[in-house]
Copies of this chain bind each other. A is one copy, B any other.
């Protein structure tokens, strides 16, 4: 089945917001086994929106529109969709009641235009909105389906997950099941080359590689008559990927981020951690603290951007700084060592580097980064030469620090080897 996305909103056309909904919906639709050939953004304009919707209905089976379901006169997605599909709008009592409750609960008064959000195309399926006042709408006609979703991501995403995914799965009359194998520490092209044979001969399940900073996600998707059969199809492929990528796989769980995998590993081994950062300036600590529950293991974070702070906060010796410079293997090592003494943590990770755009030299160019990791006295230092903007270099350094941390803890506590893929 072919799906097409229409994003409605002048704020997207003006570049006021980045259209993350389209990326989210695209990925979700792909994982549901739908093909998507076109995505369009159009403003809150009756004529142009009608035109775009009519075109989409000619060439696609399912059209998903997002945005323009608000209470103001500008918002006309539902009105246009109803008109194009030849449906009149009627007051939906359940939606009316829910909107009343939404406002009552928050102690807000309702303005008249809010009732517009309870007007629904005749015969439509109405989807409750748990996080706002605009319900979702599904309008079914012969072989074509139009789905309307609210624009705010915090309303659109839960609605799609809870109601639209099962609805579409029901329509396709087959079940789509996906599992993601999440890899860190191997580049995208290297990872792809390692499974070139699998990518070439694939049909069902399929393997789709997605690159993130420092990571590659391989999404395995199978279609079958039910979940059990689809899972069964995925199983040998996931097993094959596991045997090829081994310890480079940090998770096969949908919700597990790299930082969560690292924190889980620390918790499992009962290890406390502290960070000591120069060029990344707190972003590594910040990413670890993304994980709700990190308080069990996170002891302290030090941001020592200046040499003085490196000396004062964690006792880096002046002569070491003078001799080797702040961005050096020796200082990265001493930072990891010093932080463990000062914080009394089992594990410490240090980052020192030149994020640019200034501060580079022939000998030490912008992008040179040293990461130190100290697991109970066993210190590993990794040298990296990164490229890109200041922000990109810092983001990559943080990802690489998490990857090194994971590797060092695994190597310390188990017989894991990382040699194979490198």
Contact = CB atoms under 8 A, between A and B. Distances in A.
Nearest to A357: B292
A306 interface: yes
Interface in A355-387: 355-359
A400 to B, nearest CB: 16
A300 interface: yes
Interface string A398-419: 0000000000000000000000
Interface string A297-328: 01111111110110011000000000000000
Interface string A227-251: 0000000000000000000000000
A166 interface: no
A125 interface: no
A38 B27 contact: no
B38 A48 contact: yes
A121 to B, nearest CB: 25
Given A42-B37, A286-B283, A304 B309 contact: no
Nearest to A35: B13
Interface string A4-37: 0000000011111111101111111110000011
Q: Which of A15, A37, A52, A355 gathers the greatest number of chain B CB atoms within 10 Å?
A: A15
Copies of this protein in the complex: 2
B286 A312 contact: no
B292 A298 contact: no
A40 interface: yes
A304 B24 CA distance: 34
Main secondary structure of the interface of A (DSSP, over half): mixed
B305 A298 contact: yes
A39 B13 contact: yes
Interface stretch (A66-74, A85-93, A194-202, A388-396): A388-396
B292 A299 contact: no
Contact of A283 (B48, B282, B389): B282
Contacts of A28: 15
B300 A301 contact: no
Interface residues of A, number: 75
Given A40-B38, A301-B302, A285 B295 contact: no
Interface stretch (A95-103, A110-118, A137-145, A273-281): A273-281
A418 B40 CA distance: 44
Given A292-B356, A292-B358, A389-B154, A22 B19 contact: yes
A282 B301 contact: yes
A18 B15 contact: no
A167 interface: no
A37 B14 CA distance: 9
A288 B282 CA distance: 10
A300 B302 contact: yes
A383 B314 CA distance: 32
A305 B36 CA distance: 44
A282 B289 contact: yes
Interface of A: 12-20, 22-30, 36-43, 45, 48, 52, 55, 154, 208, 210-211, 275, 277, 279-286, 288-290, 292-295, 298-306, 308-309, 312-313, 343, 355-359, 388-391, 394
13 contacts: A13-B26, A15-B30, A37-B45, A38-B40, A39-B42, A40-B40, A55-B55, A280-B286, A281-B301, A289-B303, A300-B312, A300-B313, A302-B303
Nearest first, the 9 A-B pairs at minimum CB distance are A301-B303, A15-B27, A282-B282, A281-B289, A15-B26, A282-B285, A282-B286, A39-B41, A283-B286
